[in-house]
Amino acid sequence: MLKDVAWVGSSKADLSAFPSKARVDMGYQIHLVQTGQKADDWKPLKSLGKGILGVDAQSDKDLIVARYREVKERLS
């Protein structure tokens, strides 16, 4: 069963605007987290708060970092 994704602010639109390769890479990383696995290339981002993880995706020219938090309970 897939975990829900709670998009915050413009994050879903921002992801849609990524270059194709980075969008596909990030979509795969999100899928891994949704299925209870760890993203391939993640690191804790302690400066943003406890439980915030960063995932990198590479486009042809840029490095794109997405941040996420795994939530054990459903957000209301």
Q: Is 63 within a domain? A: yes
pTM, 2 dp: 0.71
Query: Structural domain of residue 30, as residue ranges?
Result: 11-69
Q: Is 6 within a domain? A: no
Q: Is 51 within a domain? A: yes
Q: Is 22 within a domain? A: yes
Mean pLDDT by 10 residues, the chain (76 residues): 84 87 87 87 80 74 68 53
DSSP result, the chain: -PPP----TTHHHHHHTS-HHHHHHHHHHHHHHHTTPPPTTEEE-GGG-TTEEEEEEE-SS-EEEEEEE--SS---
Domains in the chain: how many in total? 1
Q: Is 74 within a domain? A: no
Q: Is 30 within a domain? A: yes
